[in-house]
Chains A and B, each alone.
Chain A
Amino acid sequence: QSVLTQPPSVSGAPGQTITIFCTGSSSNIGAGYDVHWYKQLPRTAPKLLLYGTNKRPSGVPDRFSGTKSGTSASLAITGLQAEDEADYYCQAYDSSLSGSVFGGGTKLTVL
Chain B
Amino acid sequence: QVQLAQSGTEVRKPGASVKISCQASGYTFTTYYMQWVRQAPGHGLEWMGMINPQIGSTAYSQAFRGRVTLTSDTSTSTVYLQLSSLRSEDTAVYYCGRSPYGDYVLDWGQGTLVSVSS
Contact = CB atoms under 8 A, between A and B. Distances in A.
Interface string A34-57: 101010100001111001100001
Contact of B105 (A2, A34, A46): A46
Interface residues of A, number: 25
Contacts of B59: 98-99
Contact of B108 (A2, A45, A97): A45
State the majority secondary structure of interface residues on B.
strand
A89 B44 contact: yes
Given A45-B95, A45-B110, A99 B49 contact: yes
Nearest to A50: B104
Interface residues of B, number: 22
Contact of B47 (A40, A47, A52, A101): A101
Contact of A100 (B35, B95, B108): B35
Interface of B: 35, 37, 44-47, 49-50, 59-62, 95, 103-111
Contacts of B35: 100
A99 B45 contact: no
13 contacts: A2-B44, A34-B103, A34-B104, A38-B45, A38-B105, A45-B108, A45-B111, A47-B108, A51-B104, A89-B45, A98-B59, A100-B35, A102-B47
A38 B50 CA distance: 18
A34 to B, nearest CB: 6
Contacts of A38: 45, 105
A88 to B, nearest CB: 10
